[in-house]
Amino acid sequence: MYISSPIRLTLLAALLASAFPLHAQEAPKKPAGAVAQDKSQPEPAMQKVEVRGTAEGYDPRRDDTATKIVVGQEEIAKYGDTSVADVLKRVPGITVSSPNGRGGEIRMRGLGAGYTQILLNGERAPAGFSIDSLSPDVIERIEVLRAASAEYSTQSVAGTINIVLKKAIRTGQREFKIGARTGGGFDGPTANFQLSDKLGKMSYAIAGSAMYEDFARVIPSDEQAFDAAGTQVLARATRGDEKGRLNLFNLAPRLNWALANGDTLTWQTFVNVARFRNQNHETTDTTLGAQARYPVADSATRSDNDVLRTELNWVHKMADGAKLDVKAGVVGGQNTTTQRRWTPAGAPRRLDTAILNEAEELGATTTGKFSKTLFDGHALAMGWDGGWGVREDIRTETEAGRLVFPALLNGGEQFKAEVSRFAAYAQDEWNLTPRWSVYLGARWEGIRTRATGNTFAASRSSSNVWSPVIQTLWKIPETKGDQVRFAVTRTYKAPGLPQLMPRRQTSIDNRSTDPDFSGNPDLKPELALGLDASYEHYWAEGALVSISGSMRRIDGYTRSQVTFDGARWVAMPMNAGQAITRGLELETKFPLKALMKDAPAIDLRASVSANWSEVDGVPGPDNRLDNQTPLSGNFGIDYKKGDLTTGASLAWRQDATIQVSERQVAFLKGRRDLEAYALYKFTPKQQLRVALSNILGEDFVNRQIFLEQDRLVVRNLRFPAGPSVRATLELKF
């Protein structure tokens, strides 16, 4: 359903605000307004707490009506990871898909590419920011929301991952970590620090990290082709000698002032700097068929990315427990990437191309929330979320130092895009009985995009989406720890800026399997109706067994359509048809003492996720949505004795065949990622953490099949990746 006017939005929000108190109540045992609170802000000094009926502490996984998993600092730091992706691959229901061993796409329900929403302090990360460049040491917690909530953007078809930066103020905290990694072709040191203290009514905290890593490896690949009769007509083998380095730096300072009447004012800034360098020398040997266009070629990539984000947050306490939370921020960033490819002197066909991309972005955001506990324990919240941003991009392509595309544009291809967005929401939670709570929410989001450039006509795009949400939690009577959850949500996936820009991006070797790309300003959001249901059984302290199922029906599914314009092959995204995805997940975790009274301090955990999907317009079988992982699992064990803590984890995913289009098939190689760690405390302030990664030494393998006019082409690519070890010395002062 589309809402065409912000005025209608205001009226709808007002109606919801007045109607919800008649149908909702706050869940006992958690802080008043817990569902409506800003997860990125500290709790007020004074809280209203209701007793849920047991002496146990508040557990968001168990007690919140809106289902979520919270990964705390202890779990984040356990394996001494250097990237957030490495942390998340051990979380139930999450997989990390990496084509080459560096970074990876974070996926919920096996879906990425915009279906899984990644937030930083409750807001979308700025364009160009890579989650791989964020150090886990500057993170306080990670919240995983399997079903949408009105407070956050509903661009979360698969779910939401909210990364909350460190904000807790601890008196006199001084922490420093220094470590190093080696193995698997990657080597380099890391350093992290955390400082915080209080000075009267002011408190401060600053967290920072730095990492240097260099790498070198040999990357083999091969290409084979077969004619219509099945006879092999091409055989090529390529060797790539790659080397490079990566530098990362994070800094997150924070100041907090306690004002009169219990108000607080907080200033927080986040600085991220990334530098990447890469060189590759390729040699191709053809034993059957035509020689490669460039049998010997060199390439180099240089990328610099900087992001600065600063915000001011005012929390005002009002009468009767009401609270107003207002935040305003500014974000800026720049990215410069140079890609060069050339052949050595004397080559049969000369090549010397260079592509320079320079991008700058500036934006402003504002959010606000009014929350209040009303009669009968209603936790009501209303708020807004708005932002504006402008991005300027210059792309220059040269051949042997001469401009080749676009022709006659001495200043390069230039474009400018302005994006404005606004959202308003209302939500309420109500305990109808001590065992039954209901969450109701509604959110309206509008996005406007305007693009201008010197190689295409100016374009405008707009979309408005209305998202109602309902979730409920029922604790089964006459049971101690059995409960059932159910949710109905309306979510969407907005097209990204590159998909909307009508400019042409050319490929060097244009063909049907490597076409040019052009955006589509008429592209509309993909709309999804979601159903989630789960059963949870808490049978001892820290012990859980759950089974959950989900379904998403996606209308206006976006797929790339490749056509020939008379001169070149061109791919363009189009809204075409419908997609259906279903999922089933099993999870358990428990201390061994829950089974044996005198058992050692061993904690066990396991989860298995299965996903199915079909896409209209792509012939089956295996016409899966977004290269979806069909089956994956996580298994882990932790043991503690005295000053030693140790454990191991196995992240596993199954092989899969994906029918990408009528002409392309992809194969997802299964993977077993075994890790282990040991933490030894010399003193309460000195400890050593050692972790082993990729113990099984599995490589990263990519395989694709293309139907290329009158022949079938098979391409295989392997990125070697052996075991690696990380050691970190952690000191507190």
Per-residue pLDDT of 637-695, as tens digits, reads 999 999 999 999 999 999 988 888 777 888 888 899 999 999 999 999 999 999 999 99
pLDDT band at 404 (very low <50, low <70, confident <90, very high): low
Residue 244 resides in a domain: yes
Residue 714 resides in a domain: yes
The pLDDT, as a whole number, for residue 53 is 39
Average pLDDT along the chain: 86
Backbone angles phi, psi at 74, to 5 degrees: -65, -45
Q: Specify the range with the lowest mean pLDDT, choosing from 24-28, 82-86, 238-242, 603-607.
A: 24-28
Residue that wins the pLDDT comparison between 505 and 96: 96
Q: Give which of 307, 377, 351, 341 is closest to 129, Cα–Cα.
A: 307
Residue 559 resides in a domain: yes
Q: b/e map of 616-648 (b: 16 or more CB within 10 Å)?
A: eebeeebbbbbbbbbbbbbbbbbeeeeeebebb
Q: Give which of 446, 395, 467, 504 is closest to 147, Cα–Cα.
A: 467
The pLDDT, as a whole number, for residue 17 is 38
Residue 1 resides in a domain: no
Per-residue pLDDT of 486-529, as tens digits, reads 999 999 999 888 888 888 877 766 777 678 888 888 889 999 99
- Cβ–Cβ under 8 Å, residues 665 and 658: yes
Q: Specify the range with the lowest mean pLDDT, choosing from 128-132, 336-340, 374-378.
A: 128-132
What average pLDDT does range 70-97 have in this prediction? 88
- The pTM score is 0.83
What average pLDDT does range 552-577 have in this prediction? 87
The pLDDT, as a whole number, for residue 704 is 86
Residue 235 resides in a domain: yes
Backbone angles phi, psi at 22, to 5 degrees: -85, -5
Alpha-carbon gap, residue 244 to 542, rounded angstroms: 44
pLDDT band at 339 (very low <50, low <70, confident <90, very high): very high
Q: Give which of 522, 650, 637 is closest to 591, Cα–Cα.
A: 637
What average pLDDT does range 399-407 have in this prediction? 65
β-partners of residue 463 are: 447
- Cβ–Cβ under 8 Å, residues 325 and 371: yes
Alpha-carbon gap, residue 719 to 100, rounded angstroms: 6
Residue that wins the pLDDT comparison between 123 and 189: 189
- Cβ–Cβ under 8 Å, residues 658 and 669: no
- Name the residue with tokens 């008649």: 22
The pLDDT, as a whole number, for residue 406 is 55
Report the domain count for the chain.
1
pLDDT of residue 604 exceeding 90, the answer is: yes
The pLDDT, as a whole number, for residue 57 is 65
What average pLDDT does range 205-219 have in this prediction? 93
CB atoms inside a 10 Å sphere around CB 393: 20
pLDDT band at 8 (very low <50, low <70, confident <90, very high): very low
Residue 137 resides in a domain: yes
The pLDDT, as a whole number, for residue 170 is 67
Residue 301 resides in a domain: yes
Give percent of the chain above pLDDT 90. Answer: 54
The pLDDT, as a whole number, for residue 168 is 62
Range of the domain at 413: 6-732
The pLDDT, as a whole number, for residue 450 is 92
Q: What is the CATH number of the domain that holds 53?
A: 2.40.170.20
Q: Is 554 helix (H, G, I), strand (E, B) or coil?
A: strand
Segment 502-511 long-range contacts (CB within 8 Å, at least 24 positions apart): 502/451, 502/456, 502/457, 502/459, 503/413, 503/415, 503/453, 503/455, 503/456, 504/455, 504/456, 504/570, 506/397, 506/405, 506/568, 508/341, 508/353, 509/293, 510/568, 510/569, 511/569, 511/708
pLDDT of residue 373 exceeding 60, the answer is: yes
Residue that wins the pLDDT comparison between 701 and 19: 701
- Cβ–Cβ under 8 Å, residues 382 and 36: no
What average pLDDT does range 165-171 have in this prediction? 71
CB atoms inside a 10 Å sphere around CB 419: 20
The pLDDT, as a whole number, for residue 22 is 32
Residue 181 resides in a domain: yes
The pLDDT, as a whole number, for residue 52 is 40
Q: Specify the range with the lowest mean pLDDT, choosing from 10-14, 163-167, 504-508.
A: 10-14
Alpha-carbon gap, residue 565 to 360, rounded angstroms: 32
